[in-house]
Amino acid sequence: MSPVVPLPSAGRLKRRFKSLVAAVANPGVGMLAGMVGNAARVPERSFWPFEQDPDSILLVRFDVLGDTAMSLPLAFDLKERFPGASVVFATTPASAPLVKLCPFVDDVLVVDAPSLTHLQSGWRPSRWQTALQFVTALRRQGFDLAISLYGPLSGPIVGLSGARWRVGFDGEAAPGNFDFAFPGGRGPGTRHEIDWVRQLGGRPGGDLPSNLIFPGRAERDWMRRELAPVGSRRRVVIHPGARTGSAKLWPERHWRELIDSLAGDDSVEVVVTGGSSEPAAGSRLLAGHGEPHQNVSGRTSIPQLAALLETADLTVSADSGPLHLAALLGRPALGIYGPTDPGLSGPFGPLARTIVTDLPCHPCYDLRAPAICPFGDALCMEWITPSQVLREIAATLDSEDSD
């Protein structure tokens, strides 16, 4: 179907630049990885390609907060399977504070790998020099196992890591990067991303621990000191923002109508969260509503946000990192979904729900570029009404009260 409104020129340029980097770099990196890899070739596919248990494991994913959160179950699986192994997670500066909250990760390596494919910075030699230094440091550590969790950047880094075994999905990296490749790749219509990633550890569908993400004592003390729940009110956390595409956003007027209804209920306390650039939006949404309702947009670190979400009776958001974080903390979570497939990347867990508009073009987000509606109207989000969301909130809170 041809789009009625094309992507903005900046979006087209960014997509073309990333595609060019991938087309030029990935095959060459795959060939180089095949030549410099330390592992013996796997003679045939098997459930697990090891003759002995690994002592050191490297997990690699350079992604946004929500996708990184949904990779953490693999660290749990590997610790369960290989209790004596050290698990190291390589990720971005933005996602590193979240990974450090996972007790099944022993160390976190931080590198801004995505900047290599950014139009504004990918041309700078200093970026590539940093990447080379990072790969060199990985090779010195001599990992037994390196796993690419997702993406065109993590595959080549795993391929060049020098690990004894290099594992990933064959649809997500050039031949030569992996010694053992699981068939396929992540995308709409496949199983949920958590189960998809957990295949790499051999336990898709297993139960998750209650402490997969564990805010520390300092964050919980901050929570009790700064944002203690008010009386017996039920706390509803609202996160109106969403990264990776404007089509994921629910209209601000819808959020305002929903918050007006919630704030008018004497049994509810509304807390609006957001990033460092979003305090003004939070203030607009809570205009006219004073205590006990609060806008903490831009005021919380990721660990503090986790401590806040841990106290929520319900978190409501579009497809965002805080939504996934709330669900993985074992708290009720309600996702408002338009371009993304909730079957692939919805909030995960028994207390998670989603609201979706049934349109023929849903889902349209294919993970390769920001979610921008090709028709220019994002009706999949527009047509989800505040009254629908309010009914789901009431049903969730009522079910929590009856438990």
**C-alpha angle with apex 89: 85 to 91, nearest 5 degrees?**
175
Please check whether residue 269 lies inside any domain of the structure: yes
Do residue 197 and residue 302 come from a single domain? no
Q: How high is the pLDDT of residue 39?
A: 47
Residue with token string 């929590």 = 400
Q: How high is the pLDDT of residue 6?
A: 38
CATH number at residue 346: 3.40.50.2000
Number of structural domains the chain divides into: 2
Please check whether residue 268 lies inside any domain of the structure: yes
Q: How high is the pLDDT of residue 43?
A: 46
Tally Cβ neighbours within 10 Å of residue 280.
12
Do residue 137 and residue 251 come from a single domain? no
Please check whether residue 4 lies inside any domain of the structure: no
Identify the domain boundary among 201, 231, 247: 201
Q: How high is the pLDDT of residue 13?
A: 54
Indicate the angle between helix axes 321-328 and 302-309, nearest 10 degrees: 50
pTM, whole model, 2 decimals?
Answer: 0.86
Do residue 254 and residue 358 come from a single domain? yes
Please check whether residue 305 lies inside any domain of the structure: yes
Q: How high is the pLDDT of residue 222?
A: 94
Do residue 108 and residue 221 come from a single domain? no
| H or E element in which residue 165 lies | strand 165-169
Do residue 168 and residue 297 come from a single domain? no
Pair 253, 344: CB distance under 8 Å: no
Task: Extract the runs of DSSP E, i.e. beta strands, from 267-396.
Answer: 268-272, 294-295, 314-318, 333-337, 352-356
99, amino acid identity? V
Please check whether residue 249 lies inside any domain of the structure: yes
Do residue 266 and residue 360 come from a single domain? yes
Do residue 26 and residue 158 come from a single domain? yes
Q: Report CA 56 to chain centroid distance, whole Å.
A: 24
Question: What is the spatial distance between Cα 285 and Cα 369, in angstroms, rounded to a whole number?
Answer: 29
Do residue 80 and residue 153 come from a single domain? yes
Tally Cβ neighbours within 10 Å of residue 388.
15
Please check whether residue 206 lies inside any domain of the structure: no
Which is it for the CA torsion 244, 195, 85, 30, positive or negative?
A: negative
Rg (CA), the chain: 22
Do residue 193 and residue 222 come from a single domain? no
Identify the domain boundary among 167, 201, 235: 201
Identify the domain boundary among 201, 225, 250: 201
Do residue 259 and residue 164 come from a single domain? no
Do residue 329 and residue 398 come from a single domain? yes
Laid out side by side, the sheet with 314-318 consists of 294-295, 268-272, 234-239, 314-318, 333-337, 352-356
Token readout for 369 is 């570029």
Boundaries of domain holding 161: 9-201
Please check whether residue 3 lies inside any domain of the structure: no
The residues of the chain scoring below 70 in pLDDT are: 1-49, 113-128, 185, 187-190, 366-371, 376, 401-403
Q: How high is the pLDDT of residue 300?
A: 94
Q: How high is the pLDDT of residue 237?
A: 97
Please check whether residue 143 lies inside any domain of the structure: yes
Helix/strand/coil for 3: coil
Q: How high is the pLDDT of residue 257?
A: 97
Do residue 183 and residue 226 come from a single domain? no
